[in-house]
Structure 1
Amino acid sequence: MRRLLLAAVICGAAQGAYAADMPDDLPFLRGSQPPSLSTVRTVWQGFYIGGQASYGSADMDFKNSGKELLERLLNNVDIESQYHLSTWPLGQKTSTQNEGFGGFLGYNLQSEDVVYGVELNYTHGKFFGASGGSQGRSFNYPTDYLTSAFVQSNASMQITDFGSLRVRAGYSFGCFLPYAFGGVAMGRADIQRNVSYSSRYQYVGTQIPPLPNLAGAGSLSDNANAHFIYGYAAGLGIDMMIVDGLFLRAEWEFLRFTAPVDTIVNTVRAGAGYRF
């Protein structure tokens, strides 16, 4: 029995001496575990650049597209001041879908897992819409006259280039970066507008000899090619780092332009970028 106890003590002492000679930086000796993927912090800070493909729709409201031209055309016409012909709705809303392509350039700052920065985003595409309308009304104006007025408006708009200068903020979940953004929308569009009016004043009084009948007409056009349009931008997206510096992107962007044709552009896009 004594021999067994002595042998056990000698083996234990030898084991302790062997452990003492092992390197201190082995993780299993310190009780640590290799970090999991969920605890790895991805560095998003720095400049980045990328390309994207998009698909979306443009909703164009032509209802008041000719208002400013009609105001100029009817500036000295008495029935405009009385019945505001220029405010009559003369167009409709249209919607068009198309694809596009473009790129983005930005800079990120990172504090712990919070990421924020600025980005310039650009898309080349083609969104086209057109609409027109006309209205005619009669008035007992001026005294002893029955007056009829007819106004017409036709307009078309094609957006060829658009983008946004945005600020964005997100939260890093390892290699995933969901984010939101807002900023200024900018674009270039070809806008053609044409308006016209005609009026007839028919005397219906009893004066003898009767007062004369009168008539008036006119038209005005405005063709603005490569016209600069602007508004505001907002949206959501997610970046996913696949290797150091290289990431994929999925995004939705909302743009509203305060052009002569009130326009909303919604696009979804997929892209890839590289952080330097």
Structure 2
Amino acid sequence: MRRLLLVAVMCGAVSGAQAADMPDLPFLRGSFTEGLSRSSVNWSGGYVGAHASHGAADMDFTNSGQDLLAKLMNNLDIESEFDISKWPLLGKAHMQNSGYGGFIGYNWQWTEAVVAIELNYTHGNFFGSNMGSQGRSFQFPTDYVTTATVASAATMRVTDYGSLRVRGGYAIDNFLPYGFAGIAMGRANINRWASYSAYYRYVGAGGLPDLSGGGSLTDNANAHFVTGFAGGVGVDVMLYAGLFLRAEWEYLRFTSTVDTTINTVRAGLGYKF
């Protein structure tokens, strides 16, 4: 028993001597892991910057002419019977373009968490167009065979767009990855045209004359203000004394007579005060 106690005392003495001889390394006290999680950059404050962008837009013209056709044929029996204004005429258009713009905002930081409000603007030139027509014949009204033809065309040009957004990020040393969501705003020229023609051929007895009718209607909305929603992700990289680089992807969706989505990737340079 005394031998066991002697061995235990000797082991304890050796362990204590080794611990006393070891250097005082920071990671032994937990400061190393703490340093990995804490940002050494102060992201708080206002900032401004400029960016260049490249992206693609998708414009859905499918229903863009239906309201014009409905106005044209409002009092016609064939419209009430067959819903001619809702016939599918137009489709979608896809285009790509580059642009440039700027941003301004303000950051609030709590340890690694960063929240910001930002106004973002881009000048570009997305232009799309589509046109189509359709004709059908049916026996209506009584003793008549009616042939109805409708046509529609539309163009849209988006020249200025941007977003008022809220950002949320997590600071990792010089890097600030973030996501954002907000309101999309833009300026667009939307030009639409629609027409119809109807020919009533008499097929009954009595020799009544054939009938015909038609008309067209246009709608031009230049510098039209469109709105929607925005979202995306990005990263800011602090270079030196407030100067930072930005890389970002943004998604915009505008709801108007021509439903439009815009996806852009951007590279920017900014300065935080």
Q: Report the TM-score when normalising by structure 1.
A: 0.84
Matched, 1:218 2:215: yes
Q: Secondary structure at the match of 2:54?
A: strand
Give CA-to-partner distance per residue, 1:138-179, whole Å, 9 cap, x none. 112112221110000111111100001111111111111111
Measured in 2, the distance between the counterparts of 1:227 and 1:187 equals 8
Q: Structure 1's 157 and 40: CA in aligned 2 closer, same or farther, altered over 3 A?
A: closer
Q: Secondary structure at the match of 1:259?
A: coil
Gaps of at least 5 residues in structure 1 are 1-28
Amino acid at match of 2:47: Y
Q: Is the 8 A contact 2:156 2:189 kept in 1?
A: yes
Q: Is the 8 A contact 2:39 2:112 kept in 1?
A: no
Q: Secondary structure at the match of 1:68?
A: helix
Structure 2 residue aligned with 1:101: 100
Write the mapping of 1:176-187 to structure 2, written as runs, cut at 5 A. Answer: 176-187=175-186
Q: Is the 8 A contact 1:168 1:182 kept in 2?
A: yes
Measured in 1, the distance between the counterparts of 2:40 and 2:96 equals 39
Match of 1:265 among 237, 262, 266: 262
Give CA-to-partner distance per residue, 1:187-244, whole Å, 9 cap, x none. 01111111110001112223xx244322111000111111111111111111111112
Write the mapping of 1:76-225 to structure 2, written as runs, cut at 5 A. Answer: 76-206=75-205, 209-225=206-222
Structure 1 residue aligned with 2:253: 256
Structure 1 residue aligned with 2:237: 240
Q: Report the TM-score when normalising by structure 2.
A: 0.85
The alpha-carbon deviation at position 30 of structure 1 amounts to: 7.7
- Identical aligned residues as a percent: 59
Measured in 2, the distance between the counterparts of 1:183 and 1:72 equals 35
Structure 2 residue aligned with 1:6: none
Q: Is the 8 A contact 2:197 2:212 kept in 1?
A: yes
Measured in 2, the distance between the counterparts of 1:38 and 1:241 equals 17
Gaps of at least 5 residues in structure 2 are 1-22
Measured in 1, the distance between the counterparts of 2:145 and 2:255 equals 39
Measured in 2, the distance between the counterparts of 1:105 and 1:40 equals 23
Q: Is the 8 A contact 1:247 1:274 kept in 2?
A: yes
Measured in 1, the distance between the counterparts of 2:170 and 2:112 equals 6
Measured in 1, the distance between the counterparts of 2:38 and 2:117 equals 27
**Higher Rg:** 1
RMSD: 1.9
Measured in 2, the distance between the counterparts of 1:210 and 1:232 equals 60
Measured in 2, the distance between the counterparts of 1:40 and 1:46 equals 15
Measured in 2, the distance between the counterparts of 1:211 and 1:169 equals 74
Aligned residue pair count: 246
Structure 1 residue aligned with 2:65: 66
The alpha-carbon deviation at position 134 of structure 1 amounts to: 0.2
Measured in 2, the distance between the counterparts of 1:42 and 1:151 equals 63
Amino acid at match of 1:218: G
Measured in 2, the distance between the counterparts of 1:38 and 1:53 equals 32
